[in-house]
Amino acid sequence: MPFRPFGFSFELRTPLDLAEVRRRVRDCKHSIVDPSDGPRGLILGRLVWLWNSAWYSQGPMLVGWMSHDRQGCRISGRSGSDLNGMLGITAAALFMPVVAFLDYRDGGSSPWLYVIVALTVLAAIILLVAGSNDRREGLPLVTFLETAIGTGGRHEFH
């Protein structure tokens, strides 16, 4: 199984124009504060950002970009288990060695900082592997988009 902590890529094409696609997705999704589970999110211009639960913010997520196509509209993006969490974990894992290097360069003498950095990077690696294994959780959001715009799509899911 390939390592994809940032979910899988998808691409949907439809003969509908961009305004009609936005309208259909807005009409089919739940409002952000709706207490029932189901697709909800934001459509900001051409950006589509969907998630499943009003209360569980670390759940499945979809981020896509709508663009004009010769035959209509195309939505492409990524869907996975917790895209914003994976991005935050990656940023922290990349930032911690910089902190350790700056401390070492300035003559820092605290070995606990290096232990914390090592544990943070190890935890990030474990969480990224877990996110890669759970990327299938984003599949219902792509299916929702397919249903909302009434077309088939291509998934790069393994």
Report the alpha-carbon distance of residue 76 to residue 55 in Å, rounded: 26
Mean pLDDT, the chain, whole residue set: 82
- Same-domain status, 112 and 41: no
Determine the structural domain holding residue 104 and report its residue range. Answer: 86-126
- Same-domain status, 20 and 51: yes
* Residue 106 belongs to a domain: yes
For residue 154, pLDDT over 80 is answered with: no
Predicted confidence at residue 57, as pLDDT, reads 59
pLDDT band at 31 (very low <50, low <70, confident <90, very high): confident
* Residue 90 belongs to a domain: yes
Token readout for 126 is 């474990």
- Same-domain status, 74 and 139: yes
Handedness of CA 131, 142, 58, 41 (dihedral sign): positive
Q: Mean of the pLDDT values across residues 66-93?
A: 85
For residue 75, pLDDT over 80 is answered with: yes
The bridge status of strand 40-44 relative to strand 47-51 is antiparallel
* Residue 92 belongs to a domain: yes
Q: Which of the pair, 120 or 130, is modelled with greater confidence?
A: 120
Report how many domains make up the chain.
2
* Residue 2 belongs to a domain: no
